[in-house]
Amino acid sequence: MKLRKSELVIVGIVLISILIGIYLYPQMPDMMASHWGIVGEVNGYLPKFWGLFFMPVLSIVILALFIVIPRIDPLKANIEKFRRYYDMFIVLLTLFMFYLYVITLLWNTGMRFNIMQLLSPAFGVLMYYTGVTLENAKRNWFIGIRTPWTMSSDENWSRTNKLGGKLMKAAGIISFFGILLPNYALWIILAPVLAAALYPVVYSYLIYNGKKRPKKK
């Protein structure tokens, strides 16, 4: 099976992660900080092996999933219509995970910082591009805002995902404010994303029932 350029980039990122883990293994503590609370305090640890290699393994699993999806979706022809957005999304998702991996390693080498503050801009970029992908997504069974109502028609799908895309892009922009308000960064990140994910579900239902009709031009 021939890999696409985006998939090769992801393989490269994963390999770099593994090599970094091997190189740093002797230097890491036996129990590594792996989870942080609302204001950036450590509240979870993993054994050294999993602290170093859980993220690369998870990246491999996600890569495999995203390689398979366009090949098994009954509407895979529609995925090909926005494939460049899909490919870019999985590259950005992998880069986000690599970024999280790196700052986790830095913390465990002794550096101290507010991890939520550092995650805010990276999460913002990822959510903004998630919005771009939603705006361009065509009806399929795996990617986009999939409800019984969006799957019922291309019109419902298009209108709901375009709205969801705009909301997700706005949520991504709001996430950047976590840089300025680090103690509230988690809420600044999560609250807009949850709203951007939930409202389009209701919106798709309203369209289905004819309560949200297109404006006449």
Domain residue ranges in the chain: 5-208
Q: And the tokens for 135?
A: 């705006």
Residue 2 confidence (pLDDT): 72
Per-residue model confidence (pLDDT) at position 214: 64
DSSP code per residue over 150-217: GGG-HHHHHHHHHHHHHHHHHHHHHHGGGGT-GGGHHHHHHHHHHHHHHHHHHHHHHHHTTSSPPPP-
Q: At how many degrees (to 10) do helices 185-208 and 154-175 cross?
A: 170
Q: What is the pLDDT at residue 7?
A: 87
Residue 201: count of CB within 10 angstroms of its CB: 15
Dist CA 129 CA 85 (whole Å): 9
- Give me the average pLDDT of each 10-residue run along the chain (217 residues): 82 95 94 84 90 93 91 94 95 96 94 91 97 97 95 95 97 95 91 96 94 61
